[in-house]
Structure 1
């Protein structure tokens, strides 16, 4: 299988984080219509064509044929990785054995000459002297060294005899499984190329089936699958319309309303980053298991993105009352009592948010001054992520001020009404 050496450029990473949510927000505000879209079909073909998801999107069961071919790629790549591990181990064993043989053979082959020289020195030494004892020790040491060398040499020859066939077999197996994976990949590519040409026809056929389901004959069974699907599509369209029209049902007016809208839009903006993560991790899975080319940037880019999302979405969570809290008693209280308690607890809220702002500002300034980058080969700049701490803190403080004004208004109106 060919490898993938693509590394996401920094400008494309940031451009996607900015442009994609804007486009998604615009599309989300368009009136939802039922049916099949040709652009979406091509998008799914590009992103999920290896699995035949473009055909499954149009409920075309021929897309199931993609799955066994894709599974064959995964199995072949797994076998190729196993063969590569065996090949690596056998290669290391062969190299180690060859080095041992290269070093031990000269010593073993010249052992008799060396031993004869040491024996002659022992015979020449005067009995009972230090020279005799030294010669004996040298002879014993050399005999032990030669014996150890012979043992290593014998083991190395045995390892070499065993490892060379394993190395050859592993290399052949690796090449075979790589060819199988590449062949299956070419089959899927051929399927995708054909479907790229047939996709307009497939979308047209899917739309015709959908129209037939939406307008069943007058005598059609109301409990049939087509009738049920038509009713479900109508309900889904109504729900989507109600959701869009009710997005700002609880947003106030005036300056507090402006803050609420800012919190809402910022939370909606970063929420679409989760969709980017789906595509990014899909690319990582395909690169790792199909092309045996794991990436460096996907995991790092996504956890940095989710860190910014967590910080910037804090104001949205405060607006929608989505932060985790224990409200066993709070939920049953009157609006006045809730407002009074919220006014008291806002002290702790602003202490936290202020600390987050100051700390985030310090972190961001330090990272900007030194132009801090990641330690990975991707080397993306860290200062934009550090500034997200300060931005999230500012949004949170603004939303806290809006909530504070709302609570004060609730208390004032309750007292005036009393």
Structure 2
């Protein structure tokens, strides 16, 4: 494998590892928002922003943390045949099926960028009573999809190297 591809894989994986580990702490922010929501409903006036904020945090948690999950190979996979295959067969099959994921991510990225630019240009807000701006969560989604695309290409490069007998660490 050319050195620039090895460097690409290392840089993408280091970046996604750092971002993924930082994103893991959003679960505590989510717990705080939901705890505040529960306490405010019982003891104070119910806050109208907590449910939607919890949804935004959960979206950021899954979308931005997704590339790290993909890197760790801890995502859900249909294991009817795949689990019985040798590592080389798995890598070979992944080299072909990854193109479906890349195509899907490209469409998602295109739609996300279009939606984000609309939200930024027109100051799009949610239709809830809280009515927050949608641009921040849409930007987080575009960043997460872009990182997922980078991680997917890094995995493709690693699979090709593995099939060729040149594992990249």
TM-score by length of 1: 0.37
The aligned counterpart of 1:354 is: 106
The aligned counterpart of 1:286 is: 39
Alpha-carbon distance in 1 for matches of 2:14, 2:83:
25
The aligned counterpart of 1:407 is: 159
**Is the 1:360–1:390 contact (alpha carbons within 8 Å) kept by the matching residues of 2?**
yes
Asked whether 1:365 is paired with 2:117, we answer: yes
**Is the 2:63–2:144 contact (alpha carbons within 8 Å) kept by the matching residues of 1?**
yes
The aligned counterpart of 2:27 is: 274
The aligned counterpart of 2:3 is: none
**Is the 1:312–1:391 contact (alpha carbons within 8 Å) kept by the matching residues of 2?**
yes
Alpha-carbon distance in 1 for matches of 2:60, 2:156:
25
Alpha-carbon distance in 1 for matches of 2:95, 2:25:
33
**Deviation string for 1:189-231 (max 9, x for gaps)?**
xxxxxxxxxxxxxxxxxxxxxxxxxxxxxxxxxxxxxxxxxxx
**Is the 2:33–2:53 contact (alpha carbons within 8 Å) kept by the matching residues of 1?**
no
Alpha-carbon distance in 1 for matches of 2:58, 2:21:
14
Report deviation, 1:308. 1.9
Q: Unpaired segments of 5 or more residues in structure 2?
A: 1-5
Q: If you compute each CA radius of gyration, which structure gives the higher value, 1 or 2?
A: 1
**Deviation string for 1:139-179 (max 9, x for gaps)?**
xxxxxxxxxxxxxxxxxxxxxxxxxxxxxxxxxxxxxxxxx
Equivalences, count = 161
Asked whether 1:313 is paired with 2:62, we answer: no
The aligned counterpart of 2:132 is: 380
For residues 55-204 of structure 1, what are the structure 2 equivalents within 5 Å?
A: none
Report deviation, 1:377. 4.0
Alpha-carbon distance in 2 for matches of 1:314, 1:282:
25
Equivalent residue of 1:321, what SS?
A: coil
**Deviation string for 1:328-353 (max 9, x for gaps)?**
32122222111110001011111111
RMSD: 1.5
Alpha-carbon distance in 1 for matches of 2:31, 2:142:
27
User: Of the candidates 391, 398, 405, which is equivalent to residue 150 of structure 2?
Assistant: 398
User: Larger RCO: Structure 1 or Structure 2 (Cα < 8 Å, ≥ 6 residues apart)?
Assistant: 2
Q: Unpaired segments of 5 or more residues in structure 1?
A: 1-252
Report deviation, 1:389. 2.2
**Is the 1:361–1:389 contact (alpha carbons within 8 Å) kept by the matching residues of 2?**
no
**Is the 1:267–1:315 contact (alpha carbons within 8 Å) kept by the matching residues of 2?**
yes
User: Of the candidates 319, 323, 328, which is equivalent to residue 80 of structure 2?
Assistant: 328
TM-score by length of 2: 0.88
Alpha-carbon distance in 2 for matches of 1:277, 1:347:
34
Report deviation, 1:282. 1.4
